[in-house]
Amino acid sequence: MKSNLKILMVILLFLSATTLNAQITKQSSEIKKDKSSNIKKDSKQVKTHSIIVKFHCANGKALIERELLKKEGVISASANLETKDVEIKYNPKLVTEEKLIEYIHEIGYLVEGDPADTKLPKKACSH
């Protein structure tokens, strides 16, 4: 009897975790849809800015793309590993081009044109 109860509890725990994960995934998907539908309504709210960023590897590319998406006003970010060019689509009502450069500095990278003595809050990678 106790083993049946334990099995039932494990099944219920598994189902609860699965349901919670599905709800989180659905909410995340809805947030992304809302963000993109608001952009499509008014394309004047979208600008593109290209910045040469001093990153060296695929991990840096992924880090830049992922972290920029978390920043206010950034709609999308695409980094090219060969050219070091990072193309950022953003809402100019929420963020300036200067702020985009600050975002990259916050992630831990320098951009082309930075003075040699530019200090970063942290360094993104060790190589």
This prediction's pTM:
0.65
Which pLDDT tens digit goes with each residue over 1-44? Answer: 667 667 766 565 555 555 545 555 555 555 555 555 554 445 56
Question: Residue 116 — φ and ψ, nearest 5°?
Answer: -60, -30
- Which pLDDT does position 99 carry in this prediction? 97
CA angle in degrees (0–180, nearest 5) for 28-32-38 = 145
Task: Return the CATH number of 43-107, one of 3.30.465.10, 3.20.20.70, 3.30.70.100, 3.40.50.300.
Answer: 3.30.70.100
Query: Would you state the pLDDT for residue 29?
Result: 56
Mean pLDDT of the chain: 80
Beta-bridged to residue 50, according to DSSP, are 87
60, two tokens: 């840096």
pLDDT of residue 40: 47
3-state secondary structure of 114: coil
Tokens of residue 29, six digits: 């998907």
Contact 48, 89 (CB under 8 A): yes
DSSP symbol at 119: P
Encoding tokens for residue 120?
């970063």
